[in-house]
Every structure is written in C-alpha cells, then in structure tokens.
Amino acid sequence: MPLGYQDKIYILAFDHRGSFQKKMFGIEGDPSPAQVDRIGDAKRLIFEGMLEAVRLGAKAGATGVLVDEQFGSDVPERAREHGLVLAMPVEKSGQDEFDFEYGEDFAAHIERFNPGFSKVLVRYNPDDPDAAMNARQLGRLKRLADWLHAHDRRFLFELLVPATASQLQSVAGSGERYDAELRPELMRRAIADIQNFGIEVDIWKIEGVDQRADAEMLAAQARSGPGREGVTCVLLGRGATTEKVEHWLAQAAPVEGFIGFAIGRSIWWDALAAFLGGSLPRPEAAAQIAANYLHFVQVYERNLVA
C-alpha cells in the first residue's frame, strides 16, 4: 500500500477516555460496569449526531469517526455499516509518555476491530529535557508503524508539542505567545525527528496554526523525503472556541497537503453536557452535534481556494 492518504476526510473525534470520564462524568479511577455503560451511551449519542450529519448531506466516504474500544460500545461496527471511515486509538490514555493501551496485544486489538486508521496521540517536544523519554517513545512508535505498514494498514499520528518550562519562560509564561512564536517550528522539528527515526506516517493530525505560512511549512515537512509524496495532514481542534477553530481551518484548508480535520470537543462537548445535565433532549443534542460538525465542514470547504 503506498504511503499516505489523498481523499478528503472530516473526522469527528470522540476517542477521549481518561479525560472524558473525569471531566464529563466526574469519575476517578476505574469506572464500574454501570459507569462504563453510561459513558458508552454518551458516545452513542455523539455518533447519533454523526448519523444525523450524514442524513443532512455529509458524504459518508469523506466522513470519519475516531472512537475508542473501551467506551465505544457498538459504534465501530455501526460506523462500518454506514460506510464511514473508522479510526481507533492505540495509545494508553492520559499519559505524558506514549505506550500501548493493550501492551503486547496491540496487534490483536487492531485486527479485531479492523479500523481504516490506527491512531496515536503523542506528546513530543524535540527540546524536552527528558531525552530518554523521547527515545523510548520513538522506539515504540517505530514498532507500531512498521507493523501497520507491513500489514497494509494506515497510521494516523496526532502530534502535540507541549511547552517545556524554559520555552514557556522565554515567552513570559504566555501560552498564546508560545503557540504563535515557538510551537510551529517545534512541530516541524518534531515531525522531522520522528521521520528521521524511520517512523512513517500516513496522516499527521496536528494542532492549528495562526499563519498559513506555518501550515505550508508543516505540510512540506510531512511530505519531505522519498516516498512521502502522498502523506497528508488534518487539523485537530484542541477543544477551542468555534471562532478559533474557524481561523485555524481557514489557514490550513488552501494548503496543498491538508485534506480535512479531526475535531472533537469543539463539536460535541456543550451539546453532550447539556443532555447529561437534563437541559437538552437527546434528539436535539444529536442535531446540535450534527450542525456543529457540518459547520466546520462548510468552513473548511469554502476556504479550499483562497
């Protein structure tokens, strides 16, 4: 299978696990079976929003869901039944250091669910003082990438570049300045580090940038080197406001090498919280999720040529 992915894709991401159960449900530690069922039902509601979006015109072939095995219930099977692109996570949730959720059994879990994409979330800063941690992560990621491509499977890599203490200090503790002044180049260097280690990625799922030139730089790095001509990028949402996500989409959409987005909380968090709080009936919550998803699709598509 050639490296990369060329088709347009708009993914609704709801593979959140540890943060989801803590922040949405207030559950610490291992959830009980009843709590797993409740969380699973919430994920089914999010998926109902996706099905409503398809009913309203979202194209199934370009529509994807990123959902987990732990709480995803029957969503993976239903996604395939409806012709949606299925992506599923491989990483252990809520850790600073990447590791496999199911340890040595990672391959069996991928084969069981047979997703179109296996996804990892990785926190990697090329200037992290813990160089040994970075090296451990790279070793595990290469093992995964090599297995995926040896078995004709695609790799979706979500890259987060958290600031080091010294980097944050250099911008007077401002997260906004870090995002604007330092993070884009650090992201490029992180992608280069990962590539130079021999880890091949089909789609990079990356944090939004405020300038189109930075999106161009990142797309170019993703495609640098032999055999990477088809490698592409999608934008993640970071749970940001609608206005912020709109701006990021407007910067990325016209850039060759970007093919869509993988956005989660910015689409479904408020509607789901309202439903769980009793202020929004289930059908209306699903409709709001669908409307939010379709809004971001429309924002992306109207910025494709700018």
Cβ contact 294:57 at 8 Å: yes
- What are the E-state strand segments in the chain? 9-14, 63-67, 85-89, 117-123, 154-160, 203-206, 232-236, 258-263
Domain 9-302: assigned CATH number: 3.20.20.70
Q: What is the pLDDT along the chain (306 residues), one digit of tens a residue?
A: 899 999 999 999 999 998 899 999 988 888 999 999 999 999 999 999 999 999 999 988 899 999 999 999 899 999 999 999 999 999 998 889 999 999 989 999 999 999 999 999 999 999 999 999 999 999 999 999 999 999 999 999 999 999 999 999 999 999 999 999 999 999 999 999 999 999 999 999 999 999 999 999 999 999 999 999 999 999 999 888 999 999 999 999 999 999 999 999 999 999 999 999 999 999 999 999 999 999 999 999 999 875
**Alpha-carbon distance 291 to 196, whole Å?**
41
Q: Check residue 105 and report its DSSP letter.
A: G
User: For the chain, how big is the Rg over CA atoms in Å?
Assistant: 18
The length of the chain is 306
**Alpha-carbon distance 233 to 259, whole Å?**
6
The model's pTM is 0.95
Q: What are 91's strand-pairing partners? A: 100
